[in-house]
Amino acid sequence: MNRYMPLTGHDSTIPALVIDTQAPLDVLFDAAAYRIRAVTQFLENLAFREEISSDAIVLHDFALLLAIPLRDGCDLLDVIGRKLNSQNLQIKMGGYFYNRLV
């Protein structure tokens, strides 16, 4: 895995926003959780309003606004999953399989 992974939400030949895939898992998790919680909190506040009157353009803008941090959070969770899978593979290779070969 490359050290810097561009966010998938911004399609560009030269990415300006990237994820450091070598960052500690807790840092990656905090960044993902922050983004996902922000969107969740906004959606919950919106859902519990008594009256919602918006036109299609405003709803489209809200959806786009909320999709960006959700996509970023998913990208971060993807990096976490890859790191955990890599660690599990290294543990298996270093432990069980190595002992079977010796």
Q: Domain residues of the chain, as ranges?
A: 4-101
Tell me, rounded to whole angstroms, the distance of Cα 40 from its chain centroid: 14
In this prediction, residue 15 has a pLDDT band, given cuts at 50, 70 and 90, of: confident
Most confident of 4-18, 61-75, 77-91: 61-75
Using the predicted structure, report yes or no on whether residue 99 has a pLDDT greater than 50: no
Three-class DSSP category at 18: strand
In this prediction, residue 29 has a pLDDT band, given cuts at 50, 70 and 90, of: very high
Mean pLDDT of 46-71: 83
Report CA Rg, the chain. 19
